[in-house]
Amino acid sequence: MNRRLTTWTAALALALAMAGVASAQEQATVLKRDGSRVSGRFEAWNRNTNTLYLRLSLADQRIIPVGESAVLEVAGNADNLPANEIEAARGGDHVLVLRSGEVLRGRLVNIEGGEGSGSESEPRQVAFKPNDAGERRMRFSEVRRLYFGNFPSSLSASPSTPAPGPGTAEPAMPPGSVRVPANARWVDTGFTLRRTDRVQFTTEGQVQLSSDADDKAGPAGSLRGRYATNSPAPSLLAGALIGRIGNGAPFAIGDQTVALPMPGDGTLFLAVNDDEVSDNQGAFVVTLRVTRGRR
């Protein structure tokens, strides 16, 4: 094949791939206060009428009053909403949750730019005014969820989040924290990280690793000092808190409080290191502080 044609073909493939990523990031779901959901390509927020515009198909555009909307989730289905976020959204403030894990309380100022808006040549951006700081602007793709305040009591947190088992200690959930159940394989933290980032983990709680009430673990691992041969990280104590980036290799977190370097780029997942999780009880509550590195 001609070298020039090969170069052109590669460039076209890259452009199409990037367009696919951008298109995925423009997808959104509105969870309405009556419990129904509307999913489609996000087009605009009309500040004058306080309405959201979602495009379901070429012939189907939905116009949703913000007053009827509980939450807007970017590139998601607005299900399995974390209990700590819902609690923060019970009041009158808007609550903005970023993909970095940062949670802001305040008021939505504007959503502008992007396909379907009046400024299609500009990237879609969100302007938000936190209660305790000046206005901030970020790309739409950096947003995970936007709660519109006064979250209805009829809508609850994820039903898949189990209650702590007997004999296990579980602290309250501070805003921005992640609950890591002992009976879950890998928990998506919602943090999208780069290998140049460093993350400080503060982990609380205790879990039970079997039907034996004395078979317990803290964030550093089994209180008996035992290992689980078929666990994701068999060289680490059973029950220890572990992480991974995307589908990468697990790495140790435990009860360390120093900021840890990330082994790659992608979504951060957390888990309790065990081979059989179905008989586990309790959860760790993990608070993350991300320090962004230079690209």
Instruction: Answer whether 38's CB lies under 8 Å from 57's CB.
Output: no
- CA 206, CA 199: separation in Å to the nearest integer? 22
CA torsion, points 251, 253, 254, 259, in degrees to nearest 10? 150
User: Any idea which architecture 177-291 has in CATH?
Assistant: Sandwich (2.60)
pLDDT at 23: 44
Residue 159, pLDDT > 70, answer no
Which of these, 65, 68, 69, 23, lies nearest to 42 by C-alpha position?
23
Per-residue pLDDT of 39-54, as tens digits, reads 888 988 988 899 999 8
Least confident of 110-119, 140-149, 212-221: 110-119
Fold of 23-147: SH3 type barrels. (2.30.30)
- Split at pLDDT 50, 70, 90, the class of 12 is very low
pTM, full prediction: 0.50
- For residue 119, the tally of other CB atoms under 10 A from its CB is 12
Which of 104, 89, 100 is closest to 149 using CA atoms?
89
User: Which position has the token pair 């979602």?
Assistant: 54
Residue 11: C-alpha distances to residues 2, 24, 82, 123, 180 (Å) = 14, 20, 40, 21, 42
What is residue 129's predicted lDDT score, i.e. its pLDDT?
Answer: 95
Which band of pLDDT confidence, cut at 50, 70 and 90, is reported for residue 261?
Answer: very high
Nearest to 239 by CA among 286, 204, 271, 278: 271
* CA-based torsion, 159, 238, 245, 262: positive or negative: positive
DSSP tag of 22: H
Domain boundaries, given as residue ranges, for the chain: 23-147, 177-291
Given a cut of 60, is residue 196 above it in pLDDT? yes
Angle at 123 between CA 121 and CA 128, to 5 degrees: 135
Longest dimension (CA), the chain: 69
Percent of the chain with pLDDT strictly greater than 90: 39
- The answer to whether domain 23-147 and domain 177-291 are alike in fold is no
pLDDT at 56 over 50: yes
| Cα–Cα nearest to 175, from 105, 119, 99 | 105
